[in-house]
Structure 1
Amino acid sequence: MLARFDITAAEIDRVTTAFYAKVRVHDTLGPVFAKHVEKWPNHEAKIAGFWRNAILLERTYNGNPMQIHKAAGNVHATHFPIWLDLFDQVLAENLTPDIAQSWSALAHRIGRGLSMGLTPATKTSDAPPSLL
């Protein structure tokens, strides 16, 4: 089966690494991820595998993103527009416009699905005040 669009595994890895470098220092997303990610290279490899599965149709990723995000307890639907905006920035910085647009469309579709399964942040949650 062919890939969804023309991209290499190395490009997926590069984007994933660049994205999480920005996440780690992001005011809103950084603390959310820091609560759960201890070994960034391992996390990045797993997420790159997710994207290779979604884009290149590899069958090496084994996980349930919805279950993981729900179980985290501090991931809310309001995080996804922030996540997607940052992801779109990284795509534009690292890929040609047509590949960036194709990946962005897929990420937005996945993000919509994930955010629908999560609750919005509430005043009693541990979400950063900027999300309440």
Structure 2
Amino acid sequence: MTQNRFPAVTEDSIAVLIDTFYGRVRRHPALGPVFNAAIAEDEWPDHLETMRRFWSSVMLASGRYSGNPVAVHRAVAGLERPLFADWLALFAATAADLFDPGPAAEFAAKAQRIATSLQLALFHRFGAPPEGLARRPAA
């Protein structure tokens, strides 16, 4: 999509992003099997609405979302760290397809921060440095 992009983030544009993104997720070769195993067919409408509320809270500070994303993601079988890169790339590409460059970049930046936080919560081992960071040498 190169024309008729959303110039701003609104509740309606968030809904289009979420519906488009998760449609792509469900068909993605790596992400699809994990999401489709975690979310039953009849649960997808509720999941999409939850994600609309989540991104409304993130992007518009609407306060529409209340939940515990870490606990939800801990319960997902097959969720591995490399999937976050696929998720981020697909999310950024979908935002870029649907939004003008400014809002698309804002979505991508917030998604990156959220993914980093989730990865730390899900995969970091207490007492070890975060993955990719070396321990500081002892003084």
Give the TM-score, by structure 2 length: 0.78
Aligned counterpart in structure 2 of residue 64 of structure 1, from 50, 64, 68: 68
Aligned counterpart in structure 2 of residue 45 of structure 1, from 46, 49, 56: 49
2:81·2:119 contact (CA, 8 Å) conserved in 1? yes
The total of aligned residue pairs comes to 115
Mapped partners of 2:12, 2:115: distance in 1: 23
1:119 equivalent in structure 2? 123
SS of the residue aligned with 2:9?
coil
Aligned counterpart in structure 1 of residue 23 of structure 2, from 18, 21, 24: 21
Alignment deviations for residues 32-91 of structure 1 (CA, whole Å, 9 cap, x no partner): 001111222211110110000111111221211111101223212221111000001100
Mapped partners of 1:17, 1:8: distance in 2: 14
SS of the residue aligned with 2:122?
coil
1:76·1:118 contact (CA, 8 Å) conserved in 2? no
1:31 equivalent in structure 2? 33
Amino acid at match of 1:90: T
Mapped partners of 1:73, 1:64: distance in 2: 17
Mapped partners of 1:118, 1:74: distance in 2: 12
Amino acid at match of 2:30: T
1:92 equivalent in structure 2? 96
Among all aligned residue pairs of Structure 1 and Structure 2, give the percentage whose two residues are the same amino acid: 33
SS of the residue aligned with 1:50?
helix
Mapped partners of 1:63, 1:74: distance in 2: 21
Mapped partners of 1:41, 1:70: distance in 2: 21
Mapped partners of 2:115, 2:79: distance in 1: 12
Larger radius of gyration: 2
Which runs of 4 or more aligned residues in structure 1 lie more than 4 Å from their structure 2 counterparts after TM superposition?
none
1:16·1:44 contact (CA, 8 Å) conserved in 2? yes
SS of the residue aligned with 1:112?
helix
1:123 equivalent in structure 2? none
Give how far 1:15 is off.
Answer: 0.3
Gaps of 5+ in 2: 1-7, 125-139
Gaps of 5+ in 1: 1-5, 121-132
